């Protein structure tokens, strides 16, 4: 089993992802670095990192197969937050794809890379818990002042887009990344549509 996985890793492709935030910025430097890293295919886009609809990122996540490796030049080129990075890496790991960031030499195909990713995950969990604690305090204060209205449901508002992407054959993971919603929400919307 281990030998089969190692053989699959040797046969995999190196896939690049490049992104700049504005149309005034240029992709050339990233594209050169990705080609030098051995990328046989590169997905690139000019899109803000905070934009949840990064079409080329979703296409890349759909494209990769077991044994492939995804490479990007810098962490902030592929992920807009630590949690976003972990979500992307979860999708890649589930598909048997490793991930490498050139400027910090993070490679999830190595034990050290896995350790670094685990540490990033721990930091993300801590940040999230701190944010939730501040949020709970703010909600309690707003409720006490009669100002709290609750949150607006985001996933349900995107039901039509989810169903359209499912009809196009996109994977549930790719849809979640594309629309900036949780995979569980995609499954719920698909289940509700089936009735």
Q: Which residues are catalytically annotated?
A: 21
Q: Are 173 and 183 a contacting pair, CB within 8 Å?
A: yes
Q: Are 30 and 84 a contacting pair, CB within 8 Å?
A: no
Q: List, in sequence order, the alpha helices (H) in the chain.
A: 2-11, 28-36, 55-63, 75-78, 82-94, 111-144, 159-167, 172-179, 183-194
* Half-sphere exposure at residue 108, Cβ-oriented, CA atoms within 13 angstroms: 26
How many other CB atoms are found less than 10 A from the CB of residue 54? 23
């Amino acid at each position: 089993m281990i030998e089969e996985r190692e053989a699959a890793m040797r046969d995999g492709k190196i896939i690049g992802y490049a992104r700049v935030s504005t149309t005034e910025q240029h992709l050339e430097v990233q594209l050169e670095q990705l080609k030098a890293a051995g990328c046989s295919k590169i997905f690139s886009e000019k899109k803000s990192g905070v934009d949840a609809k990064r079409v080329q990122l979703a296409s890349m996540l759909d494209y990769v197969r077991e044994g492939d490796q995804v490479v990007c030049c810098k962490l902030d080129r592929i992920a807009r937050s630590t949690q976003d990075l972990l979500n992307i890496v979860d999708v890649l790991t589930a598909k048997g794809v490793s991930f490498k960031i050139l400027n910090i030499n993070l490679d999830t195909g190595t034990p050290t890379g896995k350790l670094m990713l685990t540490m990033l995950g721990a930091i993300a969990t801590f940040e999230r818990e701190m944010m939730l604690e501040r949020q709970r305090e703010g909600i309690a204060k707003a409720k006490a002042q009669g100002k709290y209205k609750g949150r607006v449901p985001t996933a349900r508002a995107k039901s039509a887009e989810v169903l359209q992407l499912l009809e196009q054959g996109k994977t549930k993971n790719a849809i979640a990344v594309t629309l900036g919603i949780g995979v569980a929400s995609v499954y719920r919307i698909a289940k509700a549509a089936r009735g």
